[in-house]
Structures are given as C-alpha cells and as structure tokens.
Structure 1
C-alpha cells in the first residue's frame, strides 16, 4: 500500500518539507506535482500573507493559489470572531500576515491599549518590540480575549535558531498571569479550518516536526507522514510519545507514491526476543533492551524498524536501554 492511497488532500508544512532556506528540497516539488492528489499548505508563520506564501511556493514550480494556503492568522480570526463586533478593534502584536486578515473581516487594527481594543492577537514579526508586548499586557489586564497565532518556541533563520512566537507570548504571560487561546499547529483550529475549506474526508498531514505537524494532525485524527528532510530525525522519532508518532516515515517525498513496507515482527518463543525487520534492516528487542542487528540499505528502513521496536514495547522509553548504534542513527 502506498501512503497516498485513499487520500483526497495533502496538507503540507513548508520549511523542512517543501523548501529549506532559499531552495526547494530535492524531489519535493516533483513529488507534489506528480502525486495526483490536491495539495494545500499549512503554516504557523504569521509574518506573511497567504498571497506572499503562494507566490513563494509558485517560484519553485508548484501550482499554488492564495486559497491553497492556510495560515495561523486565518485560524486566529475564527477564534476572534465570537469576541469582536462588526468594525471592532483588535490590538495586533505582529505584522502583515495578521493585519491583512483583520482587514478582510472589517475590523480595525490598533496598537495601543488606550484605544480600547476588544481583543488582542499576537503573532511573530521581526519588528515586534518590548513596546508592543507591553501594550498587549496593558490591554489584557482588562480581561479581554487573547489569541496567539502559534506557540513555536523557536524558528529557523539563515543565521541559525532564533526565538519564536511562543517565547514572546511567554513574556506577555509573565506580565498578565494567563495564557492565550492558540490557533496554529499543534492546536485544532488550523486543522479544522483546512478540513472545512477543502471539504476533504481523508486528508494527510505531511510534516517534519513531531510537536506541531504530527501531534496536531493526530489530535484531529488525520493520517500523518513524517519526512526526514527537516527538523526531527531518528532520535526524536524513536523517543516520540504516542501522540507524536506518525503513520508513515519517509526519507523524502518521492516515497509518497511507493509501496510502504510494513515492518515484519517475529517472536522467538524460546527466548522471548522480538525481531523487527524492514528491508534488510533488523532490530532486536529483548525485554527493555533494543539493539541494532543489521542496518538497512536505506537509512529510513533502519529508522522504521527501530521506531516499531520501541513503540510496541511495554516499557516507557525512559526505562529502556537503547543501543548506541540506534541512538546515532
């Protein structure tokens, strides 16, 4: 069976799945275009509009319209809708990705607590300052609703890893003593928005981060596929708690249309040892010990075998002894 069999919509994360930095990830564009399944794109990035994201993706050769892009600010607007009246005022911490969506709703963007906003929405933008965080804090002390586009603690930039929106939200939380509603991954609103917009009955989320892409899709019972071209690699997958375990693990998106080999499990009755094999890769589990017997011809085969050996154990990961060769995958 292929990962895309029975799927009527691909929901794809961006950085680490479609592109990395300024360049498309090898094989990603060709695999998406050739999948035969409609594609949409989910992003927690609140700094860009859907049109800007679509233009960026189109520059790689993908056929993308703005309506194919689901952003965390769009999901945030749905959360705000029950709190903000027509032509109401919303204090914005963030940039154009948020203000463009507020304009579509006919609401007013304000930047100061003294303008008596009906709600606060907070998302990342490079220009966000202490003053912006302070104004949000002052407004929230009146008890008005607070929505965050996402809670990503970090974000990748050209120079390395930088603080993300979650870090800035935490600063406001420290001042006001409460937490916001969250719209983006891994929370349900962005996934519910995507399912509703495209009318998909069997979508699949494709991502590279277990704590956002995979966990969020699992919460709403979507199929999940983790690709090893981005952030989380073998070590994170092997140690993943149940809510962060994907249905499929692939090396790159070319495997969307390939037959997916289910790990073979063999119990040795005389010893109680269990062997897990994918291709030539073989992993043995003996009680709470897991060791690599034979690496596969493909790295991903070894990762899959190791994951199943750990995930199907009766032991908690913290009580298991994982062989050095597996930890170094």
Structure 2
C-alpha cells in the first residue's frame, strides 16, 4: 500500500454496495479484488446499504458468491438503524406497521416488535423501506395509520434514495415511495439511512472504528452522510454520480478522495497544487493534469490521466470562491 493511499491509517473500510461493489448481481470491475486486498492489509471490512428489501444473510451470501469472505455481521443495513430509532420512539414490544420487504420485517421482529401490515391493528409506529413488491395498498395503509398528521404516531423511513441502480438502468428508489405517503399525510418521516448519520453510528459502534473510511458512489447520500458522521469519504465513479455531478457538489457533499475504481484505495493519491501567477491566472495541478482558471473561464491546460483531470477540475471549481453557475467550465473537464 502506498504511504499516501486513501487506505493508509484506516482501521475499518466501510463500503456502500450498489454502484460500489456490485450493480444488480454483477460485480463492479476490480471491486472484489481491491476489497480482498484491503482485508489482506488487516483492515476490517463493513458494508453499508440503504436497501431495506433483503436480509444481511442474503446480502452476505451474494457477496460470497462474488468472491468476498463476507458474514452477516459485516452488513450494516438501514433497517437495523431504523429499529434503533424505533426503540427510542415507542415502547418495547409495540406493534409496528411495516411497509417493505423481508429485510425490514426481519429486523423489526428481531428487535422484539410485532409486525402488522394493516392500520386497523392500531400500530404504535410506521416503518417504511423499499421492496420491489411494495404496492399502492401498502402505501395507503401507511397513510391511514399516519392520519393524525404531525401529532400522530411516529414514522420512520429506512432511507429516502430517489433512485436505485439496476442491471438494466436506474429505477425509482424508496424516496419516491416515501414521497407518495408524504403527499397524502402532509408530514415527513424520521430517516435512518444515508445521508442521516444513524446508519453510520451503528457501523462505527459495531466495528469499534477509530479511523474509518467510507466509500460510496452517490454525493447526496453516501458522501453527505459520511461528512455528517465526521468520517473521511471517497467517491468512486462506478455508480450513480459522475464528474459533472462531482464538480457541482455542494460543500457538504464533497469527498476527501475521488477514485476511478476501487484499485485507487491502495494507490498513491496525488497532492493538489493550487497557485496563481503574477497575472492572476490560477492553475490547479493534480498529478500531470493542470486546470487553468482565468477570470470566469476554467479550461484544461494539460490533460494528464483521466482521473487526475477530474480531481484537478473538482479542486479548481471548489476553490474558485464562487458558485459553479458563475463559472464557464469547459466540457472536457467533466465529460
């Protein structure tokens, strides 16, 4: 491992799954090899997922099929964080109306709650997570149970991801289903998953992490959540967000590291040089890539490698002192 690699000094590597380790049932190129190499360095691995539709046993089984030595205890899911929140909101053993799949039902039952699918059973709370089979009737039951408005029973959502990556493309995520209930009842849920920190806190406590690194593919959930939890983060460009979204990222969604794929975890991470000459022209260099900032115009002066170009472009935009919409950013910096 290189001395300045993202993994240097890390005791626990926490990885998102969809878009980082796999897309649907196919491994992301180089992901399995890189994670196994991290484990060989003595770094503990944990997998964080907002997907509430499957149990940790099922997820761990899929990871083993891909070539990772994963156990259910290494899977930290949004349903697990959701039941931690529920425990602070309702008495032990309460009846909970569940909207979601087996992964959510399993965690609610393991926490000692009684599961119902009907508002007629007078539930103490509603917990909502994604499952492909969730139907209008399920959303309606949640709305019926939450009819008390802001003064009604607690509502916990495992996550609010707007989209979920699939082998055939990008599909609607749990956020769209939560939004439907929100529209009906006029209130918002407490959220357990990314970008809220509950999921990260569960992971840190489980692994006893002192210097964790979280790696994800989404700025608005993965990176924002890691920053809220006070941990370092890396964005890998193998999933949802690409260079264009990265350059436009708000300050609370900017990663510490930008990786083309997971091989970059153990590779030397180049420093960023940001200087102005006597004419006021600014140049941002990462590796052999140089971005020129002259007035409002950002252009690629020296191409360098593809990933260093993206790193230099991000540093140039983020350090410009003005919003990205006030800049004229050359397309070759993000295409």
Query: What TM-score do the two structures reach when normalised by structure 2?
Result: 0.95
1:272 to 258, 280, 285: 280
User: 5+ residue gaps in structure 2?
Assistant: none
Pair 1:213-2:217 in alignment: no
1:84 Cα offset (Å): 2.7
Counterpart-to-counterpart distance in 2, 1:111 and 1:232: 35
User: Partner of 1:318 in structure 2?
Assistant: 325
Pair 1:188-2:197 in alignment: yes
User: Partner of 1:106 in structure 2?
Assistant: 112
1:285 to 273, 289, 293: 293
User: Partner of 1:12 in structure 2?
Assistant: 15
1:308 to 310, 315, 327: 315
Larger deviation: 98-107 or 41-50?
98-107
1:86 Cα offset (Å): 2.8
User: 5+ residue gaps in structure 1?
Assistant: none
Aligned residues: 326
Pair 1:63-2:63 in alignment: no
Counterpart-to-counterpart distance in 1, 2:223 and 2:92: 36
Counterpart-to-counterpart distance in 2, 1:195 and 1:111: 32
2:159 to 150, 154, 158: 150
Larger deviation: 18-27 or 110-119?
18-27
Distance 1:250 1:327, change over 3 A: closer
Counterpart-to-counterpart distance in 2, 1:136 and 1:165: 14
Pair 1:28-2:31 in alignment: yes
1:288 Cα offset (Å): 2.4
Are 1:83 and 1:118, in contact at CA under 8 Å, matched by a contact in 2? Answer: no
1:135 Cα offset (Å): 0.8
Counterpart-to-counterpart distance in 2, 1:30 and 1:159: 24
Query: What TM-score do the two structures reach when normalised by structure 1?
Result: 0.97
User: Partner of 1:118 in structure 2?
Assistant: 124
SS at match of 2:88: coil
Counterpart-to-counterpart distance in 2, 1:325 and 1:87: 57
Counterpart-to-counterpart distance in 2, 1:162 and 1:250: 24
Counterpart-to-counterpart distance in 2, 1:38 and 1:124: 28
1:163 Cα offset (Å): 1.6
Are 2:236 and 2:261, in contact at CA under 8 Å, matched by a contact in 1? Answer: yes
1:60 Cα offset (Å): 1.1
Q: Deviations over 1:84-133 (max 9, x none)?
A: 32321000001101110011112111011110001000011111111111
1:168 to 157, 170, 177: 177
User: Partner of 1:204 in structure 2?
Assistant: 213
1:161 Cα offset (Å): 2.1
